[in-house]
Chain A
Amino acid sequence: MLDKPSKWRSAVLGGIAIGLVSGIPVISLVNCCCCAGILGGGVLTYYLYQKEHAEGMVPLESSDALIVGIMAGLVGAFVQAVVHGILMVLFAGVSQDLMRNLFEKLIDRMEQSGSIPSGTVDQLREQIESSMKESNTMWGLMVNLFTSLIIYPIFSMLGGLLGYGIFKPKKPQQMQPTPTAPQ
């Protein structure tokens, strides 16, 4: 039997997806919904991995899903830090103004639609302002990377395991023995 496909390709692709979803402002808000971006990235990673699996190879197991999920989470943490760093260096002032405007519009829309209570709006503005200030320093970037290296692999691993549950090959149903005709 042939060996299983290499995990690196799918882990890197899944990690890039996790890093982009988590690193690009506004899109990263997806992670506020139960870490959906990272969990989804884990599922995507396992999907890509099992697509590389061909007939005649050693069958995939849940341990492969767990490992490929962790790998994607680690790659995702670094990609997210790099994306964040690039945005910080390239668009330091511009991106802050752009982000502030975007968030302001988003908050106004949410306030008008009643999605967030008016008492929360000021608090949300403060939170965004302080996190923008903190994250746009080298120290903030390092702390960001450190927390990501702990949290992303955990949730990506869970995503990988769920992906295994979703995409694992169905066992062929056992055929009922056909009754033989009496002679």
Chain B
Amino acid sequence: MNLSRRIYAVLLISTGLWCLAIVLTPILRVVGGEAGATMANACYRGFSRICHQLDERSLHLLGAKFGVCIRCTAIYFSFFFGVIVYPFVRSLRTKETPDMRWLFAAIAPMVLDALFNDLGIFRSGELSRVITGSVGGFVLAFFIVPLFIDAITQILIHRTSQGETHYAGQTQ
């Protein structure tokens, strides 16, 4: 397994665990007993730093809400899906990201949807939140994956070359 694939695997597993935590939070609260409820509360508290977690705007499982709201759920799960799809569409060795205008075009509907809703211009429904969030998250993966793989590769290569220089210095 080459370095790019290993870094990709780390990113894929981390993103998967993040999504799993979102779904596991309500399950732990309902079926996890006292320990599960404590863990679920910790998850809710952690996710509360990045999401409003309103009951009305969240998906529910077994009667308890997900760790984050429906829009955030759509973003994270579609990002995860984007990370899965990425190697089938582009090479993991590609350092170049697609044109940044694609990212702005993908995120703009989500930002406008949230903004117009908060300003009271129109009321966004669950469908618009899911669609705009999914588009934003999916496209974002195509920018983050190559940049992340490239960045970690550089760090590891620098570290290895520094180690070799240090070792050469010691042996001389």
Q: Return the contact of A62 from the options B55, B100, B114, B150 (Cβ within 8 A).
A: B150
| Residues of chain B within 8 A of A61, CB atoms compared | 150-151, 154
Q: Are A31 and B50 in contact (CB under 8 A)?
A: yes
* Chain B neighbourhood of A29, CB < 8 A: 52
User: Which 5 pairs show the lowest CB-CB distances between chains A and B?
Assistant: A113-B120, A63-B154, A66-B151, A62-B151, A120-B56
Stretch at the interface among B22-30, B85-93, B140-148, B160-168: B140-148
Chain B binding surface SS class:
helix
Residue B72 at the A interface, CB < 8 A?
Answer: yes
Least Cβ distance of B153 to chain A in Å?
8
Which residue of chain B lies nearest to A113 when distances are taken between CB atoms in the complex? B120
Q: Say whether, besides A33-B114, A165-B97, A147 and B119 are in contact (CB < 8 Å).
A: no
Residues of A within 8 A of B52 (CB): 29, 32
Does B61 touch A at the CB level, under 8 Å? Answer: no
A124 interface hit (Cβ, 8 Å):
yes
In the assembled complex, B75 has its CB within 8 A of some CB on chain A: yes
Q: Does B6 contact A (CB under 8 A)?
A: no
**Neighbouring A residues of B123 by C-beta, 8 Å:** 114-115
Known: A115-B120, A165-B147, A166-B100. 15 other contacts (CB 8 A): A34-B110, A63-B151, A65-B151, A109-B120, A110-B118, A114-B123, A115-B123, A120-B55, A123-B56, A127-B53, A143-B45, A151-B49, A151-B50, A158-B144, A165-B143
- Interface size on B (CB < 8 Å)? 38
A161 contact set on B, CB distance < 8 A? 143-144, 147-148, 151
CA distance A109 to B119 in the complex (A): 9
Q: Mark B85-124, 1 if CB is under 8 A from A, else 0.
A: 0000000000101001001000000110010011110010
Q: How far is the CA of A131 from the CA of B45 in the complex (A)?
A: 10
Q: Is A78 an interface residue (CB 8 A)?
A: no
Chain A residues 11-29 with CB under 8 Å of chain B are: 29
Q: Is the CB of A114 within 8 A of B144?
A: no
Which residues does chain A contribute within 8 Å of B110, judged by CB atoms?
34
A33 and chain B: residue at smallest CB distance: B114
Chain B residues near A (Cβ < 8 Å): 45-46, 48-57, 71-72, 75, 95, 97, 100, 103, 110-111, 114, 117-120, 123, 136, 143-144, 147-148, 150-152, 154-155, 158
Neighbouring A residues of B51 by C-beta, 8 Å:
32
Inter-subunit contact A124/B151 (CB<8 Å): no
Complex CA distance for A109 and B150, rounded to whole angstroms: 46
Q: How far is the CB of B88 from chain A (nearest CB, A)?
A: 22
Residues of A contacting B117 in the complex (Cβ-Cβ under 8 angstroms): 115
Specify which chain B residues have a CB less than 8 angstroms from the CB of A109 in the assembled complex: 120
Tell me which residues across on chain B come within 8 A of A49, comparing CB atoms.
none
Is A162 on the interface with B (CB-CB < 8 A)?
Answer: yes
Instruction: State A113–B117 Cα separation when bound (angstroms).
Output: 9
Residues on A with C-beta less than 8 A from B53 are 127
A63 near B158: Cβ-Cβ < 8 Å: yes
Which residues on the A side are within 8 Å of B75 (C-beta)? Answer: 34
Q: Are A115 and B45 in contact (CB under 8 A)?
A: no
Is residue A98 within 8 Å, beta carbon to beta carbon, of the partner chain? no
| Contact A131/B150 with A117-B56, A161-B144, A165-B143 known, Cβ cut-off 8 Å | no
Asked if A10 is at the interface of the complex by the 8 Å CB criterion, the answer is: no
